């Protein structure tokens, strides 16, 4: 029944050590999104893919990159994590507009 | 840019009570969405509203898309302890490749058994 899957659910990395978060979907949706959510705040959009077209938000730091090798998978790469990048990272997908979220990956930076 | 005002920011109620929360916007949306987020989990879609004036129910939940397209409310009837969580409203204007959501700041609901 899983529709939007995120692995791992918890990720610990070291300051400055590159980390990759994964998202996959079984919905065959053409749009995939990555959000960052910090405690007691709403999700903040980092970027999204419409099919293979990448759309970066203007205020997303260059430290954050994304790859979408095929319809089902999308990756979030953080090149040099800082302490301020510790957060919940949410993947979402949409087909007809309504967004469906995955369970999230909690990132801890030591 | 578009902003959503969601209220109340938090609510503490007794089990069995009804609860209402709402969102207002400075500009119009053509879709309103309500999500619930449990601690450590992603937001789960509760209700999607696509038409101005639309009133939609999902079990004990009822939501309405305001006729002006600038507001929406969510009601929960006969609350139970598992209703605890953060409720987010979100507005959307879909078109082309732009399906961005504008989120409210959330309503933290606590239900006392």
Tens-digit pLDDT profile for residues A22-32:
999 999 999 99
Q: What is the pLDDT of residue A97?
A: 76
Q: What is the pLDDT of residue A62?
A: 95
User: Which of A9-13, A42-46, A93-97, B37-41 is predicted with the least confidence, judged by mean pLDDT?
Assistant: A93-97
B111 forms beta bridges with: B13
Chain A contact present for B105, CB below 8 A: yes
Helix (H, G, I), strand (E, B) or coil at A19: strand
- What is the C-alpha separation between B41 and B5, in angstroms, rounded? 23
Chain A contact present for B101, CB below 8 A: yes
Other CB atoms within a 10 A radius of the CB of residue A4 amount to 23
Chain A residues inside the 8 Å CB shell of B45: 98-101
Tens-digit pLDDT profile for residues B84-110:
999 999 999 866 555 789 999 999 999
């Amino acid at each position: 029944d899983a529709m939007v899957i995120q692995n791992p659910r918890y990720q610990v990395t070291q300051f400055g050590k590159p980390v990759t978060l994964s998202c996959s979907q079984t919905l065959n949706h053409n749009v995939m999104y990555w959000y960052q959510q910090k405690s007691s705040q709403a999700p903040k959009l980092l970027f999204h893919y419409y099919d293979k077209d990448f759309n970066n938000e203007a205020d997303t730091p260059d430290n954050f990159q994304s790859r979408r090798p095929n319809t089902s998978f999308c990756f979030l790469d953080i090149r040099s994590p800082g302490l301020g990048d510790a957060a919940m990272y949410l993947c979402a997908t949409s087909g007809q507009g309504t967004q469906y979220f995955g369970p999230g990956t909690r990132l801890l930076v030591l | 840019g578009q902003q959503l005002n969601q209220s109340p920011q938090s609510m503490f109620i007794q089990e069995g009570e009804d609860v209402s929360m709402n969102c207002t916007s400075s500009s119009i949306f053509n879709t309103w969405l309500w999500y619930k987020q449990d601690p450590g989990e992603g937001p789960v879609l509760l209700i999607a509203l696509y038409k101005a004036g639309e009133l939609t129910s999902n079990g004990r939940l009822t939501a309405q898309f305001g006729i002006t397209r600038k507001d929406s409310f969510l009601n929960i009837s006969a609350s139970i302890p598992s209703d605890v969580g953060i409720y987010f409203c979100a507005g959307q204007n879909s078109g082309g490749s732009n399906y961005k959501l504008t989120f409210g700041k959330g309503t933290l609901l606590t239900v006392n058994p």
